[in-house]
Amino acid sequence: MAKINAVFPYDGAETKMERLGLRPLVEEAKQLILRTKIHLLEKKRTSKDNRAANGAGALRELLDQSFSDAGTWERKKSGDVDWRKCKIVNGTRVCVGLEIQVSARSELLYKDILHLRTRIVEGDIDLGIIVVPSDRLQSYLPIALLVFHTPKP
């Protein structure tokens, strides 16, 4: 099963989540990630060999399948947030957007942040979530141009 090592809310996200009643959507996203079965060969890549025993694409497919199987998350097209879910709170529609970034291509993380920011500014979502691999998991995936490091609290 997948594991969530840390959650880091930025720029008032925690306050916004509480104020808008988005915590249930965030918790649902966390549960879908935790229920995803991931089997890895714990073979680290070496500096001489950029190849990894595990593919980021396969990991991405597993996570996408978990959200698809839930049947309540809306899959977005390429160039947009990956997944979105909305609910009505006190007569107001509120939405969460989610990006899954495990590909190891550094420019894609920047694009994901831009997608979330654009959707928040345009009023399509109220809160953005980015899922990235932990430092440990990253060491078993193909080498990245930019290695995602778990922020230290």
pLDDT tens sequence for the chain (153 residues): 777 877 888 888 999 999 999 999 999 999 999 998 877 766 666 555 555 555 677 788 889 999 999 999 999 877 789 999 999 988 999 999 999 888 655 567 888 889 999 999 999 999 999 988 777 776 666 655 444 455 555
What single-letter DSSP state applies at residue 122? T
97 burial type by CB count under 10 A (0-12 exposed, 13-18 middle, 19+ buried): buried
- The pLDDT of residue 49 is 54
CA distances (Å), 123 to each of 18, 103, 139, in order?
A: 18, 28, 37
The single residue listed with the structure tokens 């009505």 is 88
Chain segment 50-88, per-residue pLDDT in tens:
555 556 777 888 899 999 999 999 998 777 899 999 999
Domains in the chain: ranges and CATH: 13-138 (3.40.91.20)
Structure tokens at 89: 């709170």
Give the torsion sign (CA, 8, 94, 97, 73): positive
Q: Measured between alpha carbons, how far is 26 from 127 in angstroms, rounded to an integer?
A: 9
Q: Decide: residue 42, CB within 10 A, 0-12 exposed, 13-18 middle, 19+ buried.
A: exposed
The token pair that represents 14 in the structure block: 């925690």
| Among the listed residues 146, 119, 114, 148, the one whose alpha carbon sits nearest the alpha carbon of residue 131 | 148
Q: Residue 68 has which token pair?
A: 């698809």
**53: three-class secondary structure by DSSP:** coil
